Chain A
Amino acid sequence: MDSEFEPNIPIYVQIMNDIKRRIVSEQLKPEDKLHSVREMSVKLKVNPNTIQRAYRELERQGITYKQRGMGTFVSGDISVINNLKREMAQDVLCNFMRDMKGLGFSPKEIVEIVRENIREDI
């Protein structure tokens, strides 16, 4: 994660999102250990309490769990991760749809354009 944060979103949320992204894209695998709060704080140059808050929230959402004395780990539950993936995809799609409609594309045109772009990727 680069050290640039957006001013409009709370930092702890941005940190959470970054961790979620990395879990979903499998940079962080199930049962992987996250950096300690202190390591993360030094790495990102962010207040440790902010990191703490992000971690707490992730635990609350069941995406990670804490093991006393050992640290914070990515959940081993695949369904949790898949749900997360779907949730995040949904967010991306919502934004995409909104932006495309804002540009004046009709749903049919949107499908067409997506198909073209995917074809190029394959």
Chain B
Amino acid sequence: METILKCTDLKKSYFRKTALNGLNLEIKKGRITGLLGPNGSGKTTFLKIIAGILRPSSGEILINGNRPGIKTKAQVSYLPDRDYLYKWMRISDAVNFFDDMYDDFDKEKAGEMLKFMNLSEDSKVRELSKGMSEKLYLTLVLSRKSQLYVLDEPLGGVDPTTREKILDAILKNYTEESSILITTHLVSDIERLFDDVAFISEGRIVLFGNAEELRSERKMSIDEIYREVFR
């Protein structure tokens, strides 16, 4: 199986603190990987480096064999953990923007997903509730036929119904040709989606394995393993 993401001894420090301290991770094609850890463990930092908007201090990170740059940005679809659309945009503007900027964007699919999420193309982006925004961002990200989807806390701060829709959308979108990396600290809702899970603490991976195997070995749910690891 091809490797889509390979990360070796990745480090990132700011003047006072170290966000990533030698992170090693490999993600293969067609796998859904969970990156689990508490706030401040380095999840978002790692994802931003993959997205190419943050430079590592040292170490190597390769996406399909390339260092993060223009080429990888066309292959990686990133869901940030914050609002990032222009405030003047309507949903239709956002869709058109993605369509214009990304060759792999599927406008039809976006339209269908928006319907599924009960979002209207005329709505103004700044008038959307948190849940609706999350659904919109996810729609934009998943409507690209990318090789690597990187989702930062896709379930954060949304109600259970929205959560269901988001999980649905992620699963419907899955193909064997692409991989998905999801960070979350709300493990129980989403653990059944994962092929593999990586536990991250203080900028390093402290545990990595196949989700089913870990559950069998330890006779616990991933959620319970999480609680144990991060006690």
Contact = CB atoms under 8 A, between A and B. Distances in A.
Given A7-B221, A50-B212, A44 B168 contact: no
B71 interface: no
A10 B192 contact: no
B212 A46 contact: no
Contact of B215 (A7, A38, A46, A49): A7
A5 B212 CA distance: 12
A11 interface: yes
Contacts of A93: none
Contacts, number: 50
Contact of A11 (B32, B167, B171, B192): B192
B174 A48 contact: yes
B219 interface: yes
Interface of A: 5, 7-8, 10-12, 38, 41-42, 44-50, 53
A48 B171 contact: yes
Contacts of A12: 212
B211 interface: yes
Contacts of B192: 5, 11, 44-47, 50
B26 to A, nearest CB: 17
B102 interface: no
B171 A42 contact: yes
Nearest to A41: B171
Contacts of B168: 42, 45
B218 to A, nearest CB: 9
Given A46-B193, A47-B193, A41 B174 contact: yes
A15 to B, nearest CB: 10
